[in-house]
Amino acid sequence: MKKISPLLLLFLICAAVPASAAGNEAARKDILDGYAAAAGPGFAGFSAERGRPLFLGPHAGGKPETPACATCHTPDPRAVGHHYRTGRDIPPMAVSQTPDRFTSLAEVEKRFGRDCPAVLGRDCTPLEKGDFITYLSGQ
């Protein structure tokens, strides 16, 4: 029998790994549950309808060069974005295209903490964060 090359073996093992869609789903839900709890009284669910204009802008108050999340993440959430200054590719924000989006709370909080002030001139509220993730989860 032919020996399987180590390289091929690596590919095979790897092919089995990304089947953790359920894990991604659960991690996103945990993050959303946290924002829901933080949203305070009167919270009646997150809305993709509100998340969309947050993503597309334009907004005032932040840096003039970045009036929208879409400036770097592109207006089409399914497309590859580019950092407006460095040109670096940014994988699509749409969960359908990048399945492990919004699955690490530390990562999500770090980026909201940088990107919201750059665009809005202030932090995003828990409601806005949940709306944003909800919009992109459906894209």
Binding region for ligand HEC (CB under 6 A) = 66, 69, 71-73, 83-86, 90-91, 101-102, 104, 107-108, 111-112, 114-116, 118-120, 124, 132
- For the segment 28-67, give every residue that binds another protein (CB under 8 A): none
In whole angstroms, the minimum distance from the beta carbon of 47 to ligand HEC comes to 15
Token couple for 83:
């950092």
* Separation CA 54–CA 112 (nearest Å): 13
Query: Of 30, 53, 76, 83, which lies in the binding site for another protein, with binding defined by CB under 8 A?
Result: 83
Binding mask 118-137 for another protein (x = CB under 8 A): x-------------------
Closer Cβ to another protein, 108 or 127, answer by number: 108
DSSP annotation string for 63-102 = -TT--STHHHH-SSTTS-EE-TTT--EE--SSTTTSTTTT
134 contacts 48 by C-beta, under 8 angstroms: yes
CB 119 within 8 A of CB 59: yes
Answer with the entry of ligand HEC, another protein, none that 119 interacts with (C-beta below 5 to 8 A by kind).
Answer: ligand HEC
**10 makes contact with another protein (CB under 8 A):** yes
Give the residue from 42, 43, 31, 36 showing the smallest Cα distance to 112.
31
Task: Name which of 35 and 102 has its Cβ closer to ligand HEC.
Answer: 102
Other beta carbons within 10 angstroms of residue 138's beta carbon come to 13
Shortest distance (Å) from residue 22 CB to another protein: 15
